[in-house]
Chains A and B, each alone.
Chain A
Amino acid sequence: MFHVDQPENDFSTLFSTLRSEPQSYSLGAPFVFGCAVGRSFYEPVLPAGTVSVGWSSAAAHWLSRTPAALTEHLWAPTARSPGAAPFAEQARRDWHSFVRLRADELRPGEACPVEVSAGEQVRLVERRGSWGRLAEPGGGRCWLHETAWSDREAGELVGDPATASQRDLELAGRGFSEGEERRYRADHPDLAPDFALVEAYLARAPETSPAELPRFLAGGKLGGAR
């Protein structure tokens, strides 16, 4: 597991957290090793074709350089004045660089979700479910999840879901919820009576209540004597 940040980053805090945080991936997984790369992500950070899973969280909005002084606004991504134009152009260039670099580092067919506000410049050339294929960057090869531009959650799959590998199937399981049960039931109408029965037990057959238990226990002389 490689963590990437600029050389000035406090990596000692990172490694302390990995060692002590109860939810750290490094606890209970003795053969997963945390490493650090002290380099800007606008440079290559790992050898080409070696990364199995990438992840960028609330970072890709940082530009590689400050193109001009911004005086009218505090937050460049939402700035609309003429003075913000250099930032928009820099962001466009940087985003192209970022995607190209990560594409080089990923193994073919693998993915790098990117949590970032996409702003209002998204232009889609195709929708498939909750995913949209971007006109740029990537020349139509990059897909963005709708949560990225609706600004709820964010995520990007660099790759085509139509050709998702078995590996993706495994990884994606982390995300399923009640909605998946509904879709499964829609696909299997023959199971409707069986689901109805399970739901009847859920609704009408909870565990025996504390009020009812004493009678059952006494009726079978269960439990020790007082």
Chain B
Amino acid sequence: MNRECAGAILAALAVVGCAELQNLGVPTAEQITQRSLENLEKVGSNAVSAVDEGELTKSATFSMEQEFFLGKTIAANVVSRLGGAALQPEHPAARYLRDVGTVLALAAAELREPEDRPYPLKGYRFIVVDSPQVNAVGMPGGFVVVTTGAMRASQGEDELAAIVAHEIAHAQRGHAVSPVERAREQEHVTSTLLAGTDDVVHAFFGRIVTLGADFALDKGFGKAHELEADALAVRVLKDVGYDPHALRRFLSRLEGKAAQGGFFSRHPPARERVAALAGLDEVPVAADGVRLRVARFEAVTHALE
């Protein structure tokens, strides 16, 4: 992104001094770091306790361990369908996405509702796939894939964060696992009793992996869930100190791109999502922070060229 773009972003924002964020309910960097410390202690055991306490029945009936193995297998399928050329975890772009995603995931967990899925068993994994398609995919088990096309299409870190926050919202709200759950529950309310044979379980697992990848990549999670994910994403952005209007700005700019597939083909029309986000209050964003984030975003995306 060039300097003109960065300037356009700044012009579009209501900018304030950093000190004023103190009064907006934005947690400090120390508080955000503390979230990470506390979360490290809980990850894994929180998923186990969720099963023990019967919390999962509120959102889905897969255990967190099952969701992990299911999500891992779906993620491998999604990477393959996107061309299979993912960046190595040490690539600067992958490292950068991990930083952005971690802050957002911790913020989303702070906003967790009782019916949400617990924090993923092994935490989130943010995977960068080298593909020109503008796409991002949230899957069960905390796997989030973002294409280099989506990174290039973003104008600054705040827009990239908006895309990632939307996908985290799908994972946390249980949208990513709900199509699979629905498939199972349609016929059988009392499905808790059978263990099944090895062959039957095998066939079932293969079928739900295909189903999960189809929904994540092509079919989408339905209009209501997409709008719900947008709404949570905006709250998450605001909580961390990102510009909450970034999602609306990204969607407005790329409106009409549904024919290109990816992120836009499976969602409600961008204009509907933009309209739903139109009621946002103006939120001041620190100008010096935006400049810094634009600069480091440009450095990373430049490395993708």
Contact = CB atoms under 8 A, between A and B. Distances in A.
B27 to A, nearest CB: 6
Interface stretch (A40-48, A68-76, A165-173): A165-173
Contacts of B86: 197
B194 A222 contact: no
Contact of A180 (B57, B202, B296): B202
Given A210-B33, A221-B288, A164 B202 contact: no
Interface in A129-178: 129-131, 145, 153, 155, 157, 161, 164, 166-178
Which 7 residue pairs are nearest across A and B when measured between Cβ atoms? A172-B196, A221-B289, A224-B26, A205-B89, A223-B29, A161-B197, A217-B29
A193 interface: yes
A191 interface: yes
Interface residues on B, range: 35 or more
Contacts of A62: none
Contact of A224 (B21, B54, B126, B195): B21
B81 to A, nearest CB: 9
Contacts of A113: 193-195
B48 interface: no
B199 A223 contact: no
Contacts of B157: 220
A82 interface: no
A197 B125 CA distance: 11
A208 B102 contact: yes
Interface string B45-76: 00000000110011001000110011011011
B57 A53 contact: no
A172 B204 contact: yes
Size class of the contact patch on chain A: 35 or more
B200 A25 contact: no
7 contacts: A129-B199, A168-B196, A170-B187, A173-B191, A185-B73, A194-B76, A198-B75
Contacts of A222: 29, 32, 103, 240-242, 289, 293
A176 B33 contact: no
B260 interface: no
Interface of A: 1, 22-23, 25, 27-29, 31-32, 52-55, 111, 113, 128-131, 145, 153, 155, 157, 161, 164, 166-178, 180-181, 183-185, 187, 190-191, 193-195, 197-198, 200-202, 204-210, 212-214, 216-226
A181 B54 CA distance: 25
Contacts of B249: none
Given A1-B190, A180-B201, A191-B80, A217 B103 contact: yes
Contacts of A214: 29-30, 33
| Residue picked from A29, A157, A205, A212, most chain B C-beta under 10 Å | A205
Contacts of A200: 88-89
Given A32-B190, A222-B32, A173 B195 contact: no
B90 interface: yes
A216 B240 CA distance: 12
A209 B241 contact: no
Interface of B is mostly: helix
Contacts of B21: 223-225
Contacts of B28: 223-226
Contacts of A155: 195
B195 A172 contact: yes
B69 A176 contact: yes
A169 B289 CA distance: 53
Contact of B184 (A170, A195, A212): A170
Contacts of B5: none
Nearest to A207: B102
A169 B27 CA distance: 47
B231 interface: no
Given A170-B204, A172-B195, A181 B73 contact: yes
A176 B66 contact: yes
Given A170-B187, A219-B292, 20 more contacts: A113-B194, A145-B197, A172-B204, A173-B184, A175-B195, A176-B69, A176-B201, A195-B73, A198-B79, A205-B89, A207-B98, A207-B101, A209-B40, A214-B33, A217-B33, A221-B286, A221-B292, A222-B29, A222-B103, A222-B293
Contact of A129 (B193, B198, B289, B292): B198
B206 A187 contact: yes
B19 interface: yes
Contacts of B253: none
Contact of B73 (A23, A184, A204, A216): A184
Nearest to A157: B197
A28 B55 CA distance: 11
A173 B204 contact: yes
Contacts of B286: 221
A198 B72 contact: yes
Given A198-B127, A198-B143, A223 B32 contact: yes
